[in-house]
Copies of this chain bind each other. A is one copy, B any other.
Amino acid sequence: MSLIVALDPPEGVDGVKWCINLIERIDGVPKGFKVGLPLVVKEGIKGLREVVSVMNNELVIADLKLADIGYVMSLITKTVANAGVNTVIAHAFVGIEGALSELSHVCSELGIKLVLVTFMSHPGAVRVMKKVFSNLLDIAKEINAWGVVLPATMPNIVKVGRECLGPSFKILAPGVGAQGAAPGDALCAGADYEIVGRLITRAENPLKVTLEVVKKQEERVRACRGL
């Protein structure tokens, strides 16, 4: 149970209906769902609430990649919490004082899990993020975030993150499937959850593919742990 499914509706569809249809087809299998900013911008909080209302999962994640001052990030977090979200993703990059300290405080009060992006997988991100990667991990530790995002496509980065953070932080790893990582790669490198999007959501039979991904994760983890 280390699978999170990213719900990013394609252009030109009714995003709310599309998400609800997918959730109903695979619900019960993934540990959680992640909804992104495109859906929220298009449908507003009303649409988000509709989508979230059909989820029966432990993790209901708003991946808005918040990167603003504390006041603004807190306002948005209160709004999505009110719609039923229990986890938000923000950028470690914006720092603590005047930004993540305030957000972290609001998250504690609301019982929201805070996850920080500490590395991204697209080629352009590496240029800047590599220089400040250890700072970003330090920020996650200092505010005692619930978890961090590290790319499944870069297992070495996941390993460094796990070594630096220790066992108590959750590591969420996107990039499995369409972006190239195989199910289980990031788990073997130290991640707690792998995030899969298009591989499942664009499949003709999403339930079948979801079950296959879970099976592959389990096989790969058994193999890398020598079980």
* Interface residue ranges, A against B (CB under 8 Å): 8, 11, 36-38, 40-47, 64-70, 72, 75-76, 78-80, 91, 93-101, 117, 120, 122-129, 131-132, 135-136, 139
The majority secondary structure among interface residues of chain A is helix
- State in angstroms the CA–CA spacing of A126 and B67 once bound together: 14
Closest chain-B Cβ to A100's Cβ sits at a distance in Å of: 7
- State in angstroms the CA–CA spacing of A121 and B117 once bound together: 20
| Residues of chain B within 8 A of A122, CB atoms compared | 69-70, 94-95, 97-99
Query: Which single member of B43, B97, B127 contacts A124 (CB below 8 Å)?
Result: B97
- State in angstroms the CA–CA spacing of A75 and B11 once bound together: 8
Closest chain-B Cβ to A52's Cβ sits at a distance in Å of: 14
Closest chain-B Cβ to A69's Cβ sits at a distance in Å of: 5
Say whether, besides A41-B40, A101-B124, A91 and B67 are in contact (CB < 8 Å).
Answer: yes
- State in angstroms the CA–CA spacing of A125 and B123 once bound together: 23
Tell whether, in the assembled complex, residue B128 and residue A132 are in contact, meaning their CB atoms are under 8 Å apart. Answer: yes
- State in angstroms the CA–CA spacing of A8 and B69 once bound together: 13
| Residues of chain B within 8 A of A99, CB atoms compared | 120, 122, 124-125
